[in-house]
Structure 1
Amino acid sequence: MEAQPDEPHGAAVVAEGFGLKGPRGWAFREVSFRAEPGTLVAIEGPSGSGRTCLLLALTGRMKATEGHAETGGVPLPRKLAAARRISALGQVPGVSELDPAFTVAEHLRERVMLQRRFDGSVRALLRRPSERAAEARARIDEAVAAAGLDLDALPKGERTSVRDLERLEALRLTVALALIGRPRLIALDDTDLKLSDADRAEAWALLRSVAEAGTTVLAVCAEAPAGALRITTVDEEELDGVPAAADGTAADDEPETDDEPEADDGMTGAAPDADTHPHSDTDTDTDTEEGAADALAETRRA
């Protein structure tokens, strides 16, 4: 049966009471939201609040311990491998990082090779070398264009070492690498870290364009951009007085009152209510940060 032409490429992401507990406490808990395919989702909060753990749990790289979620219809945490097959990581420090000694071209060629080795069909492996090379070049060109990475503008073109890239260009490279496998969802950490205002605007414009092209984007950040679905891993009062989007509104929308979210809204929020989940106390804040650190440490050892 042929796929319907209007079938969404991106993966819908749904979480209900989603949580992960480490040896010393919760990395995150009581996260609930719904994101349609092709949505830009900004996971907002301070460092140590479990943002990265949530990102990895939603892409099948970490196993949640509470609640459940679905990524592209794949149930989590029950089918982690299936979630990994439809998602790809951009920059995630300590988990998925660029090698500073590699050139841009080496990173791109390596990713294509790995993609062909682990995700390609037997028939694809039996193609003529010239056909495989042409397909690899086409995938690279497609991904580089989608990421807005101008190879000719780099100091040494595609032979530029990663250590010589500006931070925004490194971000574009990680997005290109993630897109080579044509995933339904890509995930990035520290999206707005150490970026100027102008570069930050460019970074979010890039991720919006990827989402508008149909690929769902999960991006960890300190501050969500306008128009993104904002998800938080902390209580409202912990975000310097900025209300969390408990009804799934975008970051630039007028916040709702303390009323319960509409049942048919389709976008339930991520920030738990402080009255029912008192994890804003100092002791539990410490547990959350330590739990997130422990969970990430286990991921890096895996």
Structure 2
Amino acid sequence: MCEDNQTQVTEIHLLGFQGLRNLKILLFILFFLIYMVIMIGNLLIIVLVTTSDHLKITMFYFLKHLALADVFLTTNIVPLMLDLILMEERTISFVACIGQLYFFGVSGFVQCFVLAVMSYDRSLAIRKPLRYSLIMCPDLCMQLVAGCWLLVFILISAEIVVLCQLHFCGRNYIDHFFCDFGPFVQLATSDTSALMLLDLIISILMIFLPFVFIIMTYVSILITILSIPSRTGRKKSFSTCTSHLMTVCTYYGTLITVYMIPSEENDFNINKFRSLLYVMVTPMMNPIIYSLRNQEVRGALRKVLCN
């Protein structure tokens, strides 16, 4: 409970980019254009994979859900951020802040599992090409994707339940452009040790373990490729997983940059622009990587444009 001289927090003030007020028009235009690229690119992948017969294969089924997570992630944050840039400060309800934090966690962490499933798919395609179609059947693909979303929903929901048990009294402003986990928890006036322990466990389950699994699958892929006698065969086999490998490097490279490289605690603008890496840069790069490097996607797009 809150003390007599404190009030229960019912609204959260987001301070946004107050140190960059002179650049707000430029930032708004830049971020709006990037947001349009993200939405058009990812929605185009979703539509192409859903409607094109040439893309009715396993890898693109997983890619569609990766694009869907990117759409949820950016739509959850960027529109409010654009409004915040123009208004210079924005007040949202406490419940809305919890909701934004929840959907940010779901859409962000589901990508870790989808990327891990995609690495398993590439491993089967290279290591067991003759049995690949039999093993990676449509039913298994649906079960894997549904399992990814369901597991993330359960884990994030458990963390949000624990978060809602905390007391938030007095200070109600966050020097950020959205309700990120760290700045939001700092507002709590009760003990957060149980929540931080749960967050550590969930981070290991949803970030570290999928990353280790991806590394292990690529080690097995590399061993298989090196055992191929012909140089052409090795090159062709490796080309089937380069797009996924680039996406993995972009996603986890962003996480390492944001969460593992130390920065000054008072340098809030640096921390905000680091957050933009996984809010805007990574969702923008995924459709670019797959559309530029994949002949099937380019062919389906040309067919749609010609029609």
Q: Structure 2-normalised TM-score?
A: 0.25
- Which is richer in helix? 2
Q: Structure 1-normalised TM-score?
A: 0.25
Structure label with greater radius of gyration: 2
